[in-house]
C-alpha cells in the first residue's frame, strides 16, 4: 500500500520528523529512504520517485548535516503549509460539528489548540 504525498507531509509535521536516506556500506546493499519520527525511529519507507517528487515540488530540502551514512531531508515552509492546510480545515470542521459556538474565532487558532478543543468537547 502506498501513501499519498499529503499523508507523507502530515506524518512529518505531526511527528516533528524528517526523511532520511540511509547510505549503504557497500554497493551490494540498497539504499533505504524512510520517514522518521523526531527520535529517529523509522515509521515508513519511500521510493526514490516519491523523494524526487517531494524535492522537485519544494516540499522537502536536504538538510546539510555532516554524516557519511545518512542524508536528511526536512520540510520546507511550503511543504509545512501544504501539510497543515487540509488538516487544519478538517479539524475546524470537526470542531464546528461538535457544536463549537464561535466558528468565526477559529481562523487564527493553531492545530494544537484545535486538537485540544476537540478532545475537551468530544465525549
pLDDT digits (tens, 9 = 90+) for 70-118: 889 999 988 888 887 777 778 888 888 888 877 777 777 777 788 888 8
Residue of 35, 14, 34 lying closest to 22 (CA atoms): 34
Residue-level pLDDT at 111: 77
pLDDT band at 1 (very low <50, low <70, confident <90, very high): very low
- Read off the pTM: 0.65
Residue-level pLDDT at 18: 92
Average the pLDDT over 16-24 and give the result.
84
Average the pLDDT over 18-37 and give the result.
77
Q: What are the φ/ψ torsions at residue 15 (nearest 5 degrees)?
A: -100, 0
Domain boundaries, the chain: 5-75, 80-121
Secondary structure letter of residue 15 according to DSSP: T
Amino acid at each position: 500500500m502506498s501513501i499519498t504525498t499529503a499523508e507523507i507531509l502530515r506524518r512529518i509535521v505531526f511527528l516533528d520528523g524528517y526523511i532520511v536516506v540511509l547510505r549503504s556500506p557497500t554497493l551490494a546493499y540498497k539504499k533505504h529512504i524512510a520517514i522518521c519520527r523526531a527520535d529517529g525511529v523509522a515509521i515508513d519507507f519511500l521510493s526514490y520517485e516519491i523523494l524526487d517528487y517531494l524535492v522537485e515540488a519544494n516540499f522537502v530540502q536536504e538538510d546539510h548535516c555532516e554524516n557519511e551514512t545518512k542524508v536528511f531531508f526536512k520540510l520546507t515552509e511550503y511543504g509545512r503549509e501544504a501539510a497543515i492546510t487540509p488538516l487544519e480545515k478538517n479539524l475546524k470542521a470537526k470542531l464546528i460539528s461538535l457544536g463549537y459556538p464561535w466558528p468565526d474565532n477559529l481562523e487564527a487558532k493553531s492545530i494544537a489548540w484545535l486538537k485540544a478543543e476537540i478532545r475537551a468537547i468530544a465525549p
